[in-house]
Amino acid sequence: MDHFPTSWGRPRNEAYDAYNTFPLHQKPYYGQDAFTDSVQRTQQPIVTGTSTLAIKYKDGIMMAADNLASYGSLARFRDVQRLHTVGSYTVIAASGDMSDFQQIQHMLDEVLINEEVTRDDDHKLGPAEIHEYLSQVMYAMRSKFDPLWNSILVGGFKDGKRYEYRCSYVDLLGVTYTASTMATGYGAYIAQPLLRRAVEGREDQLTEEEARKIIEQSMRVLFYRDARSLNKFQIATITAEGATISDPITLDTEWAFAEGIRGYGAQTQHLDTADFHDFKAVIPIVHIFVSLGFTSLEFHSAFPHSSPQKSKNTTVNCRKPAADPLHAIDGAISTSFS
């Protein structure tokens, strides 16, 4: 808040001070507004992207990221490109905060202008230089307690050299490493094992078509399993000819199998009651199942204090209407077990 009254926009006359604030106190200026500067740091990610993938194959590097930027748990922005070309040989893919990713893009654009355009010495930055620069930037920002909340994959191919034929990783702490398969976000847990099994040891044999099938299958699995993912994504290919990013691709998905999963929809839930020694112990359990939306409970085991003829395969129907939900549950239980 600005505590200086003369900065509040009050009308005043330089000859006559109608508000009795003479002499006019001027707001001190130190070249930087401490109040404004203190709120510029990202305290936590707000609009975020999820998994990104990268693999090596025979002719280059292939990367993928979906087009969703989530506002918390809301799938807010569905057309965000999280792949970015850097120069002629490199592509980066980012998960994490999208505003910080935009800042990284601006920083990289400035580096390219200074290194490739201004100097004009015919030197082009490759993936090794971009990865090293990002690692220094991320560690420096982390050391200032103002981290860029991103995990970034760097893929590139330059001059056909094996050292420049790489995919690398850097995160908000400045942690870096290289590997033939990489994933960030939820993909580090779900897609990484799939990529390792399909790629490692076959980097010099995989064709571009095979690599694309691996990427698409991994993105499909992530869409099924990751609540912050989308079935629309882009694929980047980096080869000796250069870097290209595809148009958005929409995967065909199938959800009919969910009807056969117990616990989904109106499927019957089975509860083993062998450990219950009193009829009253069932009531809290039924309350829990009803609050979760289950339609019926099927009991297979007999209560020790009940006759086998009345306790086997007994069903408690929890859909009985009543003004008081508690009476509806109790009534259904007493009816089924009396």
- Please enumerate in sequence order all residues whose Cβ is within 8 A of that of 262, keeping only pairs 6 or more positions apart, or say none: 268, 269, 270
pLDDT of residue 4: 55
Rounded to the nearest 5 degrees, what angle is found at the Cα of 209, between the Cα atoms of 207 and 215?
Answer: 105
Residues recorded for the chain:
338
Query: In whole angstroms, how far apart are CA 309 and each of 88, 273, 274, 303, 312?
Result: 78, 16, 16, 11, 6
Task: Give 19's pLDDT tier (boundaries 50, 70, 90).
Answer: low
Q: Tens of pLDDT along 183-197?
A: 999 999 999 999 999
Same domain, 79 and 219: yes
Q: Are strands 176-178 and 181-183 parallel, antiparallel or unpaired?
A: unpaired
User: What mean pLDDT value characterizes the chain?
Assistant: 76
Q: Between 169 and 26, where is the model more confident?
A: 169
User: Which of 226, 252, 278 corresponds to the end of one domain?
Assistant: 252
Q: What are the backbone angles phi and psi of residue 96, rounded to the nearest 5°?
A: 110, -155
Task: Give 135's pLDDT tier (boundaries 50, 70, 90).
Answer: very high
Alpha-carbon span 187 to 51, nearest angstrom:
5
Helix (H) or strand (E) holding 230: none
Residue 157 has pLDDT above 70, yes or no: yes
Q: Between 305 and 207, where is the model more confident?
A: 207
Same domain, 98 and 150: yes
User: Which of 252, 279, 308 corresponds to the end of one domain?
Assistant: 252
199-228 average pLDDT score: 93
3-state class (DSSP) for residue 279: helix
Dig out the tokens for 55 from the structure.
């693999």
State the residue range of the domain holding 273.
Answer: 261-337
- Please enumerate in sequence order all residues whose Cβ is within 8 A of that of 14, keeping only pairs 6 or more positions apart, or say none: none
Q: Is residue 233 part of a domain?
A: yes
Same domain, 142 and 275: no
pLDDT of residue 273: 45
User: Is 20 exposed, middle or buried, given 0-12, 13-18 or 19+ CB atoms closer than 10 A?
Assistant: exposed
Q: Is residue 203 part of a domain?
A: yes
* CATH code of the domain in which 90 resides: 3.60.20.10
Same domain, 236 and 279: no
Nearest to 185 by CA among 136, 222, 233, 131: 222
Same domain, 98 and 145: yes
Same domain, 144 and 194: yes
pLDDT of residue 145: 86
Residue 61 has pLDDT above 90, yes or no: yes
Quote the number of domains for the chain: 2
| 52-66, 236-250, 258-272, 313-327: the lowest-pLDDT one | 313-327
Residue 300 has pLDDT above 60, yes or no: no
pLDDT of residue 321: 44
Same domain, 170 and 207: yes
Rounded to the nearest 5 degrees, what angle is found at the Cα of 137, between the Cα atoms of 132 and 140?
Answer: 125
Q: What are the backbone angles phi and psi of residue 86, rounded to the nearest 5°?
A: -125, 105
253 catalytic? Reply is no
Q: Is residue 5 part of a domain?
A: no
Q: Is residue 39 part of a domain?
A: no
Same domain, 121 and 235: yes
Q: Between 269 and 128, where is the model more confident?
A: 128
Q: What is the pTM of this model?
A: 0.66
Residue 25 has pLDDT above 50, yes or no: yes
The one catalytic residue in 6, 21, 36, 42 is: 42
Q: Is residue 41 part of a domain?
A: no
Same domain, 206 and 309: no
